[in-house]
């Protein structure tokens, strides 16, 4: 019987309780991976995969991450996907929102890679979730966009630091994806249907993405077929870059 491509491989996923993290976890599990699901809510992690190891952890809490790392075993892959979104601009925006965006979207992945880097096996792979808002400046997304741009650079620096161990590090930069985080924002809009239509129009395919589509790219980046791909920031946004170039 042919072994599955991720059989015996230990992979940790943050933000695994919903959206892209959940879709990726389920896809990897179907391919034989042994998973550690990380998130703030154990109930959501158990909904993702009841039989997988689940850990309640705030990745922006350095002391909690350090404590977790001390009891963590070897890892063959990381998918650092956890994050959050709040709108705001620079001059008139709330500085506390900016600090939250940095903590949740940049400090979190920094903590995880800093404390878990020594646990990665030679030849493993790391994927960080950035955003196309970290590539192009979109109004009212300043804090989030700056944080995600930092995630892109973090991936590139790590690809240099860990290259000698044959560890690949890449970032994905999705556009609007039908996750709970996005759908909740749409519901809060004054005209939800118009807001959804506006988001669809930002790319030539005229639709928002699906979590399962992003998960397929993550699985490829974590798998053996991408062994010469590292240090990349990969837009996955329906071609929005062709409509709104840098």
d(Cα 42, Cα 217) in Å, to the nearest integer?
A: 26
pLDDT of 163-202, one tens digit each?
999 999 999 999 999 888 888 888 887 788 888 888 888 8
**Other Cβ atoms closer than 10 A to 29:** 18
d(Cα 244, Cα 56) in Å, to the nearest integer?
A: 38
pLDDT band at 65 (very low <50, low <70, confident <90, very high): very high
Exposure of 95 in the CB half-sphere (CA atoms within 13 A):
0
Question: What value does the mean pLDDT take over residues 89-99?
Answer: 96
Place of tokens 């790392």: 69
pTM of the model: 0.94
Question: What value does the mean pLDDT take over residues 65-92?
Answer: 97
Among 128, 143, 144, 145, residue whose Cα is nearest residue 232: 128
d(Cα 39, Cα 168) in Å, to the nearest integer?
A: 24
245: three-class secondary structure by DSSP: coil
The percent of residues in the chain predicted with pLDDT above 70, rounded, is 99
Per DSSP, the residues of 136-190 read S--TTBHHHHHHHHHHHHHHHHHHHHSGGGT-EEEEEEE-SB-SHHHHHHHHHSS
Catalytic one among 85, 144, 157, 220? 144
Q: 144 an active-site residue?
A: yes
Q: Which residue has the higher pLDDT, 195 or 7?
A: 7
The per-residue pLDDT for 39 is 98
The per-residue pLDDT for 179 is 85
The per-residue pLDDT for 235 is 96
Whether pLDDT at 28 is above 60: yes
């Amino acid at each position: 019987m042919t072994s599955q491509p991720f059989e015996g491989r230990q992979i940790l996923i943050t933000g695994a309780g919903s959206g892209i993290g959940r879709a990726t976890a389920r896809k990897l599990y179907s391919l034989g991976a042994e998973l550690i699901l990380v998130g703030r809510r154990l109930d959501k992690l158990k909904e993702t995969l009841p039989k997988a190891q689940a850990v309640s952890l705030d990745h922006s809490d350095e002391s909690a991450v350090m404590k977790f790392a001390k009891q963590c075993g070897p890892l063959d892959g990381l998918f650092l996907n956890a994050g959050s979104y709040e709108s705001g601009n620079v001059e008139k925006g709330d500085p506390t929102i900016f600090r939250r965006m940095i903590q949740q979207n940049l400090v979190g992945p920094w903590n995880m890679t800093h404390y878990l880097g020594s646990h990665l096996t030679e030849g493993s792979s790391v994927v960080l979730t950035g955003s196309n808002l970290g590539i192009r400046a979109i109004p009212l997304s300043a804090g989030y966009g700056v944080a995600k741009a930092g995630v892109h650079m973090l991936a590139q620096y790590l690809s240099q630091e860990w290259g000698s161990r044959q560890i690949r590090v890449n970032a994905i930069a999705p556009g609007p994806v039908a996750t709970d985080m996005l759908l909740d924002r749409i519901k809060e809009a004054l005209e939800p249907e118009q807001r959804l239509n506006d988001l669809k129009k930002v790319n030539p395919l005229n639709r928002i993405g699906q979590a399962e589509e992003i998960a397929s790219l993550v699985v490829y980046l974590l798998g053996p077929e991408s062994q010469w791909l590292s240090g990349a920031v990969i837009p996955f946004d329906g071609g929005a870059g062709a409509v709104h170039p840098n």
